[in-house]
Amino acid sequence: MGIFQKIFSRKRKTVKDKPETYEAKEQLHSDIGANFSVVKKAFGNSKDVIMGEIILDPSSLFKVGFIYMEGMADTANIQEKIKQPLLMRSKDILQQLNMPLLDHFEMIKNHIPAIGETKPIHDFSALYKSILSGETVILVEGYTYGFAANTTGGYKRAVEEPTTQSVVRGPREGFTETLDTNISLIRKRIKTPNLWLETLVIGEVTQTNVGIMFINGIVNDKIVEEVRIRLARIEIDGILESGNIEELIQDETFTPFPTLYNSERPDVIAAGLLEGRIAILVDGTPFVLLAPALFAQFYQSAEDYYQRAEFATLIRILRYACFFISLLAPSLYIAVTTFHQELLPSSLLFSLAAQREGIPFPAFVEALIMEITFEILREAGVRLPKTVGQAVSIVGALVIGQAAVEAGLVSPAMVIVVAITAISNFVIPSFNMGISIRILRFILMIFAATFGLFGVTVGLIATVQHLCSLRSFGVPYMSPMAPFNLADQKDTILRLPQWALFSRPRFISKKNRIREDNAPTTKPERKGK
């Protein structure tokens, strides 16, 4: 077995490998006190597990018990909808308990006002899952079962404007860390029963709720089944963010390019669903995944569809230009100034030579120093508090750049090249794609310093070949550019008017591809001359 096989080989879990926990499906006891003891032992006498009893008949000590998790359940709702009704209607409950044919589950629920969904609880595993989800478990003395009432509450972040994908014109709502809220934000925009939702739990310890949303009749059923299979295949202790899911289900592991799209904007996810994509929502994070993802998708912004088509097309062309500037500017500068000075006009060459007079480092080392310095400043600006982070990054870049030039460590032309490279990287809407370009930039700089323009060309060919080999849930990553599809070019680099976007992407949706029934005739007609 090779070294990589040893590193990445997985040892299957066995019964002996699993630690002793209290998650076994042990049946509930008929005695409420015994159930309370088991729950206390399972949670290590944690103070946030609240357990109490309501005595309905003092003479027979008939009582009802309740268990909930403080901070996750709405205590006011529990008091108003569970405790008070049971105390006020205790006589009616006792009379109905003497009826042998009466269903006691229905009897208890009939005396509790509408509190949302309820479900029966028969074992401790289901009990733990319910209280850890913010529900309240109600137990009845003498019965080996109970039921869970939906009393989910606690702290929830309000719906706010997204911070990572801001727009000038467009909706201001963003996803939150609550799964139910995120689902409702999508359903608010797509009001059709064909918007289907499937839920599952991933993570043996965290028990994270994950949702799969798609529009039946538009989505490719094979892709839906592939998403189900990949999610069901995950065996891990915990899922804390959608990025954990992304790494576990992506097609290609060793690639700098993201093969799943993420967004915290409900309108972006809704637009993706209408194109036939699948949304993967993870409880505890505001970032929702879209699959499959294409290369061109990372250079599109939600605002492209809220502005005029001409303006959106111009901005998209600018983004692709910034992509090449951010990727190639330092490497081209290194290659030309080191190996191919004959490509420069004489006046420009003399100016660059005068600037580099006295610089102790070659162009590659000079560029490497400035790029690493800027990466440090960028990371510091992200990690520092917001009140000082932006000021430190801006002032630091100005001071260090000016000081480096005056000290004779770098030339002014190199500062300009690194600055325009960094600014061009910020133009790209997707943060993930920006990171990919930053990684490839350093690789191309090494190729340029070693082989000149020939090395840059080889690096570009290898990058294009790698991009064309990628798949996202079986869909070619570079489509509709490679393989080329003329019909889908209307929304790739160009953004044609809305009346022209009458069909969905061919590689995404295999059925119901027409968005508008009268699409070919919806182009505005001129009246008169």
Along the chain (529 residues), what's the average pLDDT of each consecutive run of 10 residues?
A: 50 47 70 91 90 73 82 84 73 55 56 68 89 87 83 81 86 91 93 93 91 93 94 93 93 89 94 94 94 93 91 94 95 93 88 86 90 85 71 70 83 90 91 92 95 95 95 92 88 89 81 68 53
Q: Residue 90 has what pLDDT?
A: 58
In a domain, 457, yes or no: yes
Q: What global pTM score does this model have?
A: 0.84
In a domain, 46, yes or no: yes
Q: By C-alpha distance, which of 256, 300, 254, 248 is closest to 277? A: 300
Residue whose tokens read 């006002």: 113
Shared domain for 260 and 389, answered yes or no, is no
Q: Residue 166 has what pLDDT?
A: 84
In a domain, 495, yes or no: no
Q: Residue 57 has what pLDDT?
A: 63
List Cα–Cα distances, 322 to 66, 242, 246, 423, in angstroms: 60, 28, 27, 9
d(C-alpha 196, C-alpha 219), whole Å: 11
Q: Residue 18 has what pLDDT?
A: 47
H or E stretch at 146? strand 146-149
Q: Residue 384 has what pLDDT?
A: 75
Q: Residue 502 has what pLDDT?
A: 82
Shared domain for 141 and 211, answered yes or no, is no
Shared domain for 205 and 320, answered yes or no, is no
H or E stretch at 120? strand 118-121
In a domain, 14, yes or no: no
Longest Cα separation, the chain: 106
In a domain, 115, yes or no: yes
List Cα–Cα distances, 26 to 18, 127, 136, 326, in angstroms: 17, 10, 19, 59
Q: Residue 58 has what pLDDT?
A: 62
Q: Residue 20 has what pLDDT?
A: 44
Q: What are phi and psi of 318, to 5 degrees?
A: -65, -40
Q: By C-alpha distance, which of 230, 226, 265, 256 is closest to 245? A: 230
Query: Angle, to 10 degrees, between the axis of helix 124-131 and the axis of helix 32-42?
Result: 70
Q: Residue 243 has what pLDDT?
A: 92
**Share in percent of the chain as helix, strand, coil (round to 5):** 45, 15, 40
* Residue 60, both tokens: 């027979």
Amino acid identity of residue 84, one-letter, is Q
Shared domain for 287 and 332, answered yes or no, is no
List Cα–Cα distances, 111 to 79, 87, 106, 137, 230, in angstroms: 14, 10, 9, 15, 44
Shared domain for 138 and 193, answered yes or no, is no
Angle, vertex CA 340, rays to CA 339 and CA 344, nearest 5 = 140
Q: Residue 10 has what pLDDT?
A: 55
Q: Strand order in 62-69's β-sheet?
A: 49-57, 62-69, 136-140, 146-149, 118-121
Residue 287: CB atoms within 10 A of its CB come to 18
Q: What's the domain count of the chain?
A: 3
DSSP H helices, 45-89, are 75-78, 84-88
Q: Residue 51 has what pLDDT?
A: 92
Q: Domain of residue 70: give its range.
A: 32-149
Q: By C-alpha distance, which of 226, 359, 224, 218 is closest to 278? A: 224
Amino acid identity of residue 365, one-letter, is V
Shared domain for 64 and 208, answered yes or no, is no
d(C-alpha 178, C-alpha 209), whole Å: 10
Shared domain for 333 and 451, answered yes or no, is yes
Shared domain for 125 and 207, answered yes or no, is no
Shared domain for 134 and 244, answered yes or no, is no
SS (H, E, C) 293-357: CCHHHHHCCHHHHCCCHHHHHHHHHHHHHHHHHHHHHHHHHHHHHHCCHHHCCHHHHHHHHHHCC
Taking a C-beta distance cutoff of 8 angstroms, is the pair 164, 431 a contact?
yes
Residue whose tokens read 């409880």: 283
Taking a C-beta distance cutoff of 8 angstroms, is the pair 438, 323 a contact?
no
Q: What are phi and psi of 201, to 5 degrees?
A: -115, 125
H or E stretch at 496? none
Shared domain for 222 and 328, answered yes or no, is no
d(C-alpha 117, C-alpha 311), whole Å: 49
Shared domain for 283 and 313, answered yes or no, is no
In a domain, 263, yes or no: yes
In a domain, 227, yes or no: yes
In a domain, 166, yes or no: no
- The domain boundary residue, chosen from 293, 324, 352: 293
Q: What are phi and psi of 22, to 5 degrees?
A: -105, 30
Shared domain for 253 and 397, answered yes or no, is no
Number of H helices and E strands in the chain, helices first, is: 18, 12
d(C-alpha 509, C-alpha 272), whole Å: 11
Residue whose tokens read 């509790």: 112
- End-to-end C-alpha distance for the chain, whole angstroms: 79
